[in-house]
């Protein structure tokens, strides 16, 4: 038996260099990929060969990263790793909880310095524009709303305490809407995608309904909307980040039956006739069916009698929320601070802004590094 094992080890020792050499040759022949859709990140390209990179050792490091990133069959190995870890009883991969047929991202811890700066900027911007109605909507993630689905003995961070601290820091002049109670009430429903970190249109609807009710409008109902399932094979960021396979989602859009005519205006583009972009349903990034994904600025002009003009500061959670507020404003200016670099005061004046809203999911907001800069603080 021992002789047999020694022969196997010798054979592997002889064959391994050949396998590595063969893989290297194949990797050189096969064109490099720009992005790993399984991991949702950019991949290392073949490094530039020059004297400086050889001397400082950077070529060796980049070459190693290139081989690891471009290794043929790499995505299959990532899926295999996920399957093995799950069979071994692993409950968490890359800060993603494995919850049976659902994946749930853990709570992100705040960048305390930047978070404080962002909140102070919101307070200062509200004080500066005291004639504008300002609202703040912080959306809890599935890790808070659907925490009963987490594996036993999970060590998730307390997102509720983080949210309490944020709300307590905002001035009373900011109308703060807390969606936690509403979403908890519907926690057993399809509020969050199983393979992605975003909420679904249904989660956004319940939040909009509660927000309207708090403002005195009790008439919002699911019956007001036609619902269309536009995809049943969506695999999102959490499936990519964990290497999960077999978990898929439906994407449903909600169209108000009484929606007025509108058009969407984007920089350097022709006006678009819809807030939905079906071309993304043929790509990996299917969630971008809402608004066509994240842009620096978009404007929606609506044909109605409203005298209100909204400026919406947001992350991607707001992309599926916009479909519910279409009839509430004469115009909606949407700014994603992560990509916006122009003068926001000019927007306030030119777009006749009467209302400002901040809508973020909590995990994104606590790590944001761009909002204060856009607000001028």
DSSP string, 246-315: S--EEEEEEEETTPPPEEEE-TTS--BS-SB-GGGGGSS-GGGGBTTS--SEEEEEE-SS---EEEEEE-
Distance between CA atoms of 104 and 125, rounded to whole angstroms? 34
Helix and strand numbers, DSSP H then E, in the chain: 13, 14
Distance between CA atoms of 45 and 55, rounded to whole angstroms? 20
Distance between CA atoms of 65 and 252, rounded to whole angstroms? 39
Does the structure show a pLDDT above 90 at 241?
Answer: no
Length of the chain, in residues: 377
Crossing angle of helices 2-29 and 58-70, in 10° steps, is 100
Any idea which residue has 């809508």 for tokens?
359
The answer to whether the beta carbons of residues 263 and 271 sit under 8 Å apart is yes
Tokens linked to 9? 């080890």
pLDDT mean across residues, the chain: 84
pLDDT at 122: 98
Does the structure show a pLDDT above 80 at 95?
Answer: yes
pLDDT class of 53 with cuts at 50, 70, 90: low
Q: Which residue has the higher pLDDT, 269 or 98?
A: 98
Distance between CA atoms of 38 and 54, rounded to whole angstroms? 32
pLDDT class of 28 with cuts at 50, 70, 90: low
Does the structure show a pLDDT above 70 at 192?
Answer: yes
Average pLDDT over residues 338-347: 95
pLDDT at 198: 97
User: Which has the minimum average pLDDT: 39-48, 250-259, 303-312, 326-335?
Assistant: 39-48
pLDDT class of 79 with cuts at 50, 70, 90: very low
Q: Which residue has the higher pLDDT, 57 or 330?
A: 330
User: Which has the minimum average pLDDT: 92-101, 182-191, 214-223?
Assistant: 92-101
User: Which has the minimum average pLDDT: 68-72, 214-218, 284-288?
Assistant: 68-72
What burial letters (b/e) apply to 254-278, b meaning 16+ CB within 10 Å? beeeebeebebebeeeeebeebbee
User: Which has the minimum average pLDDT: 144-148, 178-182, 271-275?
Assistant: 271-275
Does the structure show a pLDDT above 90 at 304?
Answer: yes
pLDDT at 67: 45
pLDDT class of 76 with cuts at 50, 70, 90: very low
SS3 119: helix
pLDDT class of 26 with cuts at 50, 70, 90: low
The answer to whether the beta carbons of residues 357 and 174 sit under 8 Å apart is no
pLDDT class of 84 with cuts at 50, 70, 90: low
Average pLDDT over residues 315-325: 98
User: Which has the minimum average pLDDT: 36-45, 84-93, 288-297, 310-319?
Assistant: 36-45
Pairing of strands 225-234, 249-256: antiparallel
């Amino acid at each position: 038996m021992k002789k047999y094992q020694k022969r196997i080890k010798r054979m592997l020792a002889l064959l391994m260099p050949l396998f590595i050499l063969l893989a290297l040759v194949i990797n050189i022949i096969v064109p490099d990929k720009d992005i790993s859709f399984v991991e949702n990140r950019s991949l290392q390209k073949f490094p530039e060969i020059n004297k400086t990179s050889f001397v400082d050792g950077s070529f060796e490091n980049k070459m190693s990263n290139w081989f690891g990133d471009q290794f043929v069959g790499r995505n299959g190995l990532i899926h295999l790793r996920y399957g093995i870890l799950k069979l071994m009883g692993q409950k968490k991969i890359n800060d993603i909880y494995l919850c049976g047929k659902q994946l749930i991202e853990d709570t992100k811890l705040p960048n305390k310095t930047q978070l404080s700066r962002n909140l102070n900027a919101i307070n200062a911007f509200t004080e500066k524009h005291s004639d504008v109605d300002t609202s703040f909507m912080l959306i809890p993630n599935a890790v808070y709303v659907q925490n009963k689905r987490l594996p036993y003995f999970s060590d998730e961070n307390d997102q509720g305490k983080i949210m309490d601290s944020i709300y307590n820091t905002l001035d009373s002049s900011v109308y703060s809407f807390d969606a936690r109670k509403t979403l908890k009430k519907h926690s057993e429903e399809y509020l969050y995608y199983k393979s992605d970190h975003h909420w679904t249109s249904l989660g956004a609807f319940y939040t909009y309904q509660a927000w309207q009710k708090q403002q005195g409008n009790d008439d919002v109902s699911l019956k007001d909307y036609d619902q269309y399932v536009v995809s049943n094979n969506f695999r999102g960021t959490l499936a990519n980040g964990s290497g999960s396979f077999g978990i898929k989602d439906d994407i449903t859009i909600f169209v108000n039956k009484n929606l007025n005519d509108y058009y969407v205006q984007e920089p350097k583009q022709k006006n678009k006739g819809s807030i939905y972009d079906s071309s993304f349903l043929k790509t990996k990034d299917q969630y971008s069916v809402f608004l066509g994904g994240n842009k620096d600025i978009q404007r929606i002009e609506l044909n109605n009698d409203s005298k209100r003009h909204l400026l919406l500061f947001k992350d991607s959670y707001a992309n599926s929320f916009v479909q519910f507020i279409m009839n509430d404003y004469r115009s909606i200016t949407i700014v994603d601070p992560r990509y916006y670099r122009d003068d926001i005061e000019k927007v306030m004046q030119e777009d006749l802004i009467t209302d400002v809203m901040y809508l973020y999911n909590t995990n994104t907001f606590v790590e944001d590094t761009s909002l204060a800069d856009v607000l001028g603080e």
